[in-house]
Amino acid sequence: MANAGRSTAAANDTAALEIFQNQWGVYQKFLQYDYLSNAEACAALHRFLIDDLGRPFRFIDLACGDISGIVGTLRTTPIEHYRGVDLSGPALALAAENLAALPCPAQLDEADFTVAMRDLPQPADIVWISLSLHHLDAVAKGAFMREVRDRLAPGGAFLAYEPTRREGEDRPAYLDRFEAIGRRDWTNLTDREFAEAMRHVRACDLPETMAGWKELGRAAGFASTTELYRSPTDLFRLFLYRP
């Protein structure tokens, strides 16, 4: 695994990393019970890769986590190369075990996703980020998306599955809705795990509205933003950005 320096661009991001570096087991439960609808988001990604893109591609997975979900998605696509980037040691250790299930050459980089696009050997085909971009404030989100846009190959795409506020819903209202849904549905979490997750979300999550995500894309130079999937809770949406 290569190492890259941490960006100082987003102090919020350092706090956001803490739970993933020290308590990966809590997030693993969210994946195990699919509380954040990662599986359906990956299914929508798969449909895009097969039905819309329809050609071989190189895939960059920013803030990849343990890659337990994405490997199943990518296994049945014409993927030519996989690169996963994350800063959580426990997640990357599991990801290294899961790499074997991919049908292509692959690499994992222990690096900050906000700087990972800067040292590409060639333009990127598909850049994917899931449940991680929302830790950055709007300015840092915009700067990052501009870097992604600038490094996409012709015909490439950027896909982001991220917390999304309803129009007119402010951050406190979104967080209250998030917590109410969690209390109702996430019954396999212990009280401590739920409290830990909510502490992270309330401290670190900066969701945008659909209009906000669209405007960030436009300002970064993307020609179109399309919503490919919305979670049943209406907490998360998958956006496809095309140059």
Residues lying near ligand SAM in the complex (CB under 6 A): 13, 16-17, 20, 27, 38, 63-65, 69, 85-88, 91, 112-114, 130-132, 135
Burial of 104 (0-12, 13-18, 19+ CB in 10 A): middle
The contacts of residue 45 (CB under 8 Å, 6+ apart) are 73, 128, 159, 161, 228, 238
Shortest Cβ distance from residue 117 to ligand SAM (Å)?
Answer: 11
Contacts of 32 (CB under 8 A, 6+ apart): 188
Q: Which is nearer to ligand SAM, 37 or 77 (CB)?
A: 37
Burial 65-78 (b: 16+ CB within 10 A, else e): bbbbbbbebbeebe
C-alpha 225/C-alpha 31 separation (Å) is 27
The residue number with the shortest CB distance to ligand SAM is 65
Q: How far is the CB of 119 from ligand SAM (least distance, A)?
A: 14
Nearer Cβ to ligand SAM (91/152)? 91
Q: Measured from the CB atom, is 85 or 216 closer to ligand SAM?
A: 85
For ligand SAM, the closer CB: 189 or 218: 189
Q: How far is the CB of 151 from ligand SAM (least distance, A)?
A: 16
User: Whose Cβ is closer to ligand SAM: residue 68's or residue 226's?
Assistant: 68
CB of 168 to ligand SAM, least distance (A): 26
Residue 22, number of CB atoms within 10 A of its CB? 13
Strand partners, 110: 3, 86
Question: For residues 46 and 77, is the Cβ–Cβ distance under 8 A?
Answer: yes
What's the closest the beta carbon of residue 223 comes to ligand SAM, in angstroms?
A: 25
